[in-house]
Amino acid sequence: MKKRLTIFLGGIAALAIAWAGLSGGDLLARDRLVHTEASDYAPIVVFEEHGERCMNFNEIEGQGRQTCIRLDNPKQMVFEYTRMMMASLFVNPQPESVLIIGLGGGTLPMALHALLPETTIDTVELDPAVVRVAERFFGYQTGPRQRVFVEDGRAFVERAVKEGRGYDMVMLDAFDVDYIPAHLLTIEFLEEVRELLAPGGVVVANSFAQSSMYERESATYAAVFGEFFNLRAGLEGNRVIIATPGSLPDKAELEQNAGSLDKALQPYGIETQRLLDAFAVHHQAPGTVQPLRDPVRP
């Protein structure tokens, strides 16, 4: 995800001065590190390489970068999966309210806020350390229509349902150091998300194109929503699920919505035709794979 550049430069200069006395080997080993943020969950590491600033859990060489921005063009989306998630606007191009579970560096909420300034965007993030890093190093800022809630995503959804609230779009982009938290993958959770969707609402979820959970995740979404759009960024990359409580829009509607957004999406590196070509409808044969469920409580 992305961020603002101004407050970084002083910190980087200070680091350069502090490292000036290091040997060549030490400098090569440490010249990418910008900041490490303590957390009750996993330390958050901010580092720079190849003209990008990135966030990761635990260490620079850990599994998968959580967020990256281009230092010379922070608006342009680095990761294919964020561009694919923005394709949910082809299904609902003018959501008045959006819920995002998982902040990272704030790429998605910031892009949506810039594109849809009248839309209320609520982001839920479990770890307050992630919020601090997003604000300090990636330019995320809250405001009247850009709000953040520090709590568990499922707890937020359950409370919102009880309060009778609704969202036109729900984006699921929560990861820990290993995978999506298990309680955000089950039929019971997705049923709560479906109940939270306003008429014409859409849910979009980031997952992996190849994992031991792939078939069961698919079966779980199919059990709650029926057919869904399945977008994949190669067999080794991410896949994005886009689902609705009702029938999916046809190709003509997707193309019309994409065309209306094409110019606005270009600065983010989003090629609307490429995303349209990635849309594929997933059909799940009933009973072929067991969906994921909450553990049975005694």
d(CA 203, CA 92): 10
Could you list the residue range(s) of the whole structural domain that residue 18 is in?
Answer: 8-75
Are 164 and 260 in the same domain?
A: yes
Residue 289 is assigned to a structural domain of this protein: no
The CA distance from 111 to 116, in Å, is 8
Report the residue count for the chain: 298
Residue 294 lies in a domain: no
Domain shared by 34 and 107, yes or no:
no
In a domain, 91, yes or no: yes
Run of H or E including 265: helix 251-265
Residues with a known catalytic role: 173
Does residue 82 sit in the same domain as residue 22? no
Q: Is the pTM of this model over 0.75?
A: yes
Q: Same structural domain for residues 68 and 177?
A: no
- Distance, in Å, from the CA atom of 263 to the CA atom of 251, rounded to the nearest integer, reads 20
Amino acid 245: pLDDT = 96
Question: Are residues 263 and 181 part of one domain?
Answer: yes
CA pair distance 221, 242, nearest whole angstrom: 10
**Does residue 290 fall inside a structural domain?**
no
Give, as one character, the DSSP assignment of residue 247. P
Q: Is 205 helix (H, G, I), strand (E, B) or coil?
A: strand
CA distance 145 to 167: 14
CA 233 to chain centre: 15
pLDDT string in tens for the chain (298-residue length): 333 332 222 333 333 333 333 333 333 344 589 999 999 998 999 999 999 999 998 878 655 678 999 999 999 999 999 999 999 999 999 999 999 999 999 999 999 999 999 999 999 999 999 999 999 999 999 999 999 999 999 999 999 999 999 999 999 999 765 688 999 999 999 999 999 999 999 999 999 888 888 999 999 999 999 999 999 976 568 899 999 999 999 999 999 999 999 999 999 999 999 999 999 999 988 888 999 999 987 6
Tell me whether residue 295 is in a domain: no
Domain shared by 45 and 120, yes or no: no
One domain for residues 48 and 91? no
Cα–Cα distance, 60 to 33 (Å, whole number): 8
Q: Look at residue 286 in the predicted model and tell me its pLDDT.
A: 81
Domain's final residue, options 43, 59, 75: 75
| Residues 23, 116 within the same domain | no
Q: What share of the chain is helix, strand, coil (3-state, %, to 5)?
A: 35, 25, 40
**Is residue 191 located within the same domain as residue 128?**
yes
For the chain, the domain total comes to 2
Confirm if 249 and 92 have CB atoms less than 8 A apart: no
Q: Bridge-partner residues for 55, per DSSP?
A: 46, 67
For residue 190, is it within any domain?
yes
User: Residue 99's domain is classified under what CATH number?
Assistant: 3.40.50.150
Q: Which residue's entry shows tokens 């150091």?
A: 177
Query: Residues 49, 195: one domain?
Result: no
Regarding whether 83 and 56 lie in a shared domain, the answer is: no
Q: Are residues 59 and 89 in the same domain?
A: no
Q: What is the 3-state secondary structure (H, E, C) of 249-262?
A: CCHHHHHHHHHHHH
| 67 falls within a domain | yes
Query: Is residue 291 included in any domain, yes or no?
Result: no
φ and ψ at 48, to 5 degrees?
-125, 140
Cβ 61 vs Cβ 86: under 8 Å: no
pLDDT for the residue numbered 235: 58
Residue-level pLDDT at 179:
80
Q: Using CA atoms, how far apart are residues 172 and 175, in angstroms rounded to an integer?
A: 9
